[in-house]
Chain A
């Protein structure tokens, strides 16, 4: 079971570059469109890859925004122009290999624009909807703004889940069966709200079911003596099968640690191969990446020029290796008594193409190799209607340490105070009966700002010291917007200035309409 979780925080009209909309455009250009195009091409060739897509509601909203669709075209055209400029520059300096790479970038972005217009009609979610309706894929939802759920208060939890479900139903014209817990963040009892809203299954990390040492793919570079990497008690259970949560009417799928490790591991994972494109080195003039990893331990200025043909060779080698390891895993599982073992591979979609440039090609090849194998089959969660065995699941996440550390630590403690405080404030607001249309709109806006404050992304960025300034700015902006609304309602100061400000805020943060 291949599960691809797709999420970009709300960045629409929240700055373009280097932080902001460019994140979304990069994900669209480098991951979503290439992957879907490849998937459709494979389908035409007779391959039917059953993939489970998790799409965050905040991503869906942005993908469906006319503003984003228009600006994405402009973004692509800018990239094309930059690539052409680079090509001319390199040719003028006798750098043929670099010039050819620049020409490749030009073709890449031009064809993304072509496909976005001619194949997708600007409508990525529309394509996904059709595919789901044809039974080729299964789409699941997640928390509205990708909030880290285990640490939320119950009302906020409900807003996140209910809004997530609502957006899904509006876009895909059906109810979601599965729920992706952001960051695989689970705490006992969380499933109750999922059951209440009709969800049939969710996913957790492997150690949540099996126990043992967590993989902890995220934040592996953090050095902090305070991190407790807990070794969970071994349960004797296995991710080779789904489980019914004890006494609850909901299934849980556990992520397979072996298949995750091979892709995610910074040290041993495929994306770190010397022949793959180096993510971190950019050409000053354009920002394009023209170098290969070469050696993970050498200085950036010593990186060699990227060779796409060599990288393609590696893609095929790694795809074969991965599929072979799936086969071996299945074989081992059978020895343990699992006649039809289930191997759940969960990945962030943006890993493929955006972070790992060759990842889409790799995934493509894996899909083909699996389809051609007589030992492996793709499966959708909807094909598994019930679980015979019951399990209790540990509080857990797929972050470092296996629990909540990445999102709750000394760096983020103040943020949680604000999140909880904002939640409490909103609860008070929610009891106020609106006396006017403006007040009603202000209340709705307050809920949106609350949910935007709760995005797990800001916490993650602060913890990892990645684009921390931007994260804090965004966190504060949504918080202060919330405060102003709450204050205005509380003080009944819905004057002209406020109305004008509210209009601007509705325009800026126009999600979940």
Chain B
């Protein structure tokens, strides 16, 4: 036996990663990796396959040129093979455009060649993001790989090929037993299959005639690699280098017997795939990890039966053992509760917040296609006087082509300004698909991470406006569309003007998405173009928040989740803004009456007059079987202004003491990527004669041990204006405050004012407890006045304004409530 080991670590930091986190990973992992590789390339039998993600490479190019220089030298030793990948590490399968596959591969190739002079033809394989590999992904990647002369070799999870345990009579999947109570004697698979433990070969496969090769990744060798520490207190397992070597050799020996039994006698290959950050960054002990790996390398090098190898080298040397198709859409099968076996589409569309990112991407893609239609029309008219039908077929063919963006770019070669904008918009659109905010946000081991999407959306909204300026048929602003924007079967109202993008959801009659541009920037296409062109190298810092910010883009709130049963049947619901509860007070406190916060509202009016859009939603509910209560919300949007008036009207049943409790929410949150010391506060002002109790709950207290929470109550003059200020501290030395301002006007008695984190807990009991905790430092703020219903009616007008990079500060307020304490 000559067993082959393809060691394939994957280096990755997402676009918009926090400065401090990225620098820490650089110190703890990427530099130690370089030291390790410098030593390892001196080992005779050493070879390694490295995949550095596009976002990480962009950052290294921008920030760590010396690292790239050293890395290039190491690559020149021919002991390091590079694995290609996608420029933005995106889930391209979420995109509506199949040309994104080629786009991503080409951009990656350009980048990698620029940094290492390694062409796609020299790659050892292609990294599939999270090894999430439906048929479309594999087909399109293979097609794109062929176009750039890259080998179509992918490492994929072993479970992609093989269900761990097939069905048997009497097992969980014996549906006769389940439904009728008898054992189905033929509840067995008939497919010829290879036991999982023998899947240590390269397999040929094809999709739509596109041939590709895959090599299985076995989770055992991911988990055992560098297992030097305990995961939990109960975990006593330590894997030494010689143990790891033992397991690998053992697996290869077993596999070797298998190929002999097949009559092929092909030497086996074992892929070690793992995140590179496991070295040093996870363990915080890079020295120990480096020693561990070096010892392992030496053990392999000293064994004549084993050999490190590149993926392509292996295919060239040994070839595939057979054609053996992969199954579909599997990634990380051990986390079934997380993906519910529905892959990244299940994750993304199963979560309201993540779905909104995709919806907004769809808007941009629609706009982009509209623009591309125009480009093709212009181009077609210029080059040929052909039949309209044929022209339409050509147009459709181009739009469905894997090379669509390239064709459009070629057509725009005489329009350099448009070409530049097109390229940048396409760039931004692609990067919003990056995996981390989708994958990690809903992984049980990680906390909420909307941050990356918030930045992506800030860029996307500017790009949207810039691209719109290129289209012939510019929309008349304000644009109002009644559409099922988020594909949930219920129409939303999407309103756009130069300053805002707003989505009003009839479910709960609330705002589910609200993005704003700085008034200084809106309508100034030149300046917006300059910003995105300047940042098209993918910025390292978060200063874009000076120009754009999604004010409502809230997390799912566990308080609102619909639970069907304890074991996990539930639907998570985003907090959103401007929901409103109707409350009744008794000796035990407030009780929710009806379900105004989640019921479907009817559209009473959608009206556009000049710049002013008015939308009126109403929900009529019968309470206590006799009284009818109507809650009406009137949304008014003008250029850089938004208001909502809440009105409740109806007969109050006798003996009931009713209140309304509107929820004024923003998901805008402080961000300090430099020191991790975020700041945010509420500033109030008012001159009323009335006092009110203000409860500020769950103030985030950041200390050495993490974050604690505390609450305070204050007696204050009833504020008619509440300003929320949050700090953005960016590593490019820009530090500024953003402001969201709420003016509250009511004719009725405000009995209490509650300030709370927008979302206190998300995915509670489903992610680790400390990861489920949110607060002002991550989720934004919720302001909830409790207003008494008098004589069957109550109202509240909320005027919402904002300033990005505001001049205001703590000194401007008579009443000040810190939301984050250190």
Contacts and interface: CB of A to CB of B under 8 A. Distances in A.
Nearest to A119: B242
Interface string A436-462: 000000000000000000000000000
Nearest to A87: B165
A92 B246 contact: no
Interface in B481-518: none
Contact of B170 (A41, A92, A110, A119): A92
B243 A93 contact: no
27 contacts: A41-B238, A88-B165, A91-B165, A91-B168, A91-B171, A92-B165, A92-B166, A92-B168, A92-B169, A92-B171, A93-B168, A93-B170, A93-B171, A94-B170, A94-B171, A94-B172, A110-B250, A113-B250, A114-B243, A114-B246, A114-B247, A114-B250, A117-B246, A118-B240, A118-B243, A118-B246, A119-B242
A210 B255 CA distance: 62
B245 interface: yes
Contacts of A92: 165-171
A114 B247 CA distance: 8
A117 B244 CA distance: 12
Interface in A245-275: none
Contact of A118 (B167, B168, B238, B245): B245
Contacts of B238: 41
Contacts of B243: 114, 118
Interface string A112-125: 01100111000000
How many of chain B's residues touch chain A, expressed as a range? 10 to 19
Nearest to B166: A92
B409 to A, nearest CB: 54
Contacts of A118: 240, 242-243, 245-246
B183 to A, nearest CB: 10
Interface of B: 165-172, 238, 240, 242-243, 245-247, 250
A210 B545 CA distance: 86
Nearest to B242: A118
A91 to B, nearest CB: 5
From DSSP, what is the main secondary structure of chain A's interface residues?
helix
A197 B243 CA distance: 43
Nearest to A111: B243
Contacts, number: 31
Contacts of B242: 118-119
Q: Which 4 A-B pairs have the closest CB atoms?
A: A92-B168, A118-B242, A91-B165, A114-B246
B53 to A, nearest CB: 34
B36 to A, nearest CB: 22
Nearest to A88: B165
Nearest to B187: A92
A119 B240 CA distance: 10
Contacts of B166: 92
A37 to B, nearest CB: 11
Nearest to A44: B238
B305 to A, nearest CB: 14
A93 B247 CA distance: 29
Contacts of B245: 118
A501 to B, nearest CB: 39
Contacts of B167: 92
Contacts of A93: 168, 170-171
Interface in A69-102: 88, 91-94
Contacts of A41: 238
Nearest to A80: B250
A385 to B, nearest CB: 38
B762 to A, nearest CB: 30
Contacts of B165: 88, 91-92
Nearest to B188: A92
A94 B167 CA distance: 10
Contacts of B169: 92
A94 B170 CA distance: 7
B518 to A, nearest CB: 58
A43 to B, nearest CB: 14
Contacts of A94: 170-172
B608 to A, nearest CB: 61
A41 B239 CA distance: 12
B166 to A, nearest CB: 8
Given A91-B171, A92-B171, A118-B245, 18 more contacts: A41-B238, A91-B165, A91-B168, A92-B165, A92-B166, A92-B169, A92-B170, A93-B171, A94-B171, A94-B172, A110-B250, A114-B243, A114-B247, A117-B246, A118-B240, A118-B242, A118-B246, A119-B242
A117 B299 CA distance: 14
A119 B243 CA distance: 9
Contacts of B247: 114
B295 to A, nearest CB: 12
Contacts of A119: 242
From A110, A113, A117, A118, residue with most partner B Cβ within 10 Å: A118
A110 B224 CA distance: 14
A419 B171 CA distance: 59
Nearest to B240: A118
A118 B247 CA distance: 10
A409 B246 CA distance: 51
A91 B247 CA distance: 24
Nearest to B167: A92
A356 B242 CA distance: 30
A117 B250 CA distance: 11
A136 to B, nearest CB: 20
Contacts of B250: 110, 113-114
A408 to B, nearest CB: 47
A92 B168 CA distance: 5
A114 B237 CA distance: 13
A93 B188 CA distance: 12
Contacts of A110: 250
Nearest to B247: A114
Nearest to B164: A91
B818 to A, nearest CB: 46
Contacts of B170: 92-94
Nearest to B170: A93
Contacts of A114: 243, 246-247, 250
B639 to A, nearest CB: 62
A103 B171 CA distance: 17
A248 to B, nearest CB: 47
B415 to A, nearest CB: 63
A117 B248 CA distance: 14
A114 B249 CA distance: 11
A91 B169 CA distance: 11
A308 to B, nearest CB: 11
Nearest to A92: B168
A47 to B, nearest CB: 14
From A93, A114, A119, residue with most partner B Cβ within 10 Å: A114
Contacts of B168: 91-93
A93 B165 CA distance: 11
B258 to A, nearest CB: 14
Contacts of B172: 94
A114 B242 CA distance: 9
A117 B168 CA distance: 37
A118 B168 CA distance: 38
Nearest to B197: A84
A119 B245 CA distance: 12
Contacts of B246: 114, 117-118
A93 B242 CA distance: 37
B690 to A, nearest CB: 60
A113 B251 CA distance: 13
Interface string A50-62: 0000000000000
A93 B238 CA distance: 33
Nearest to A38: B236
Interface in A110-157: 110, 113-114, 117-119
B712 to A, nearest CB: 44
Contacts of A91: 165, 168, 171
A91 B168 CA distance: 8
A180 B806 CA distance: 87
A132 to B, nearest CB: 23
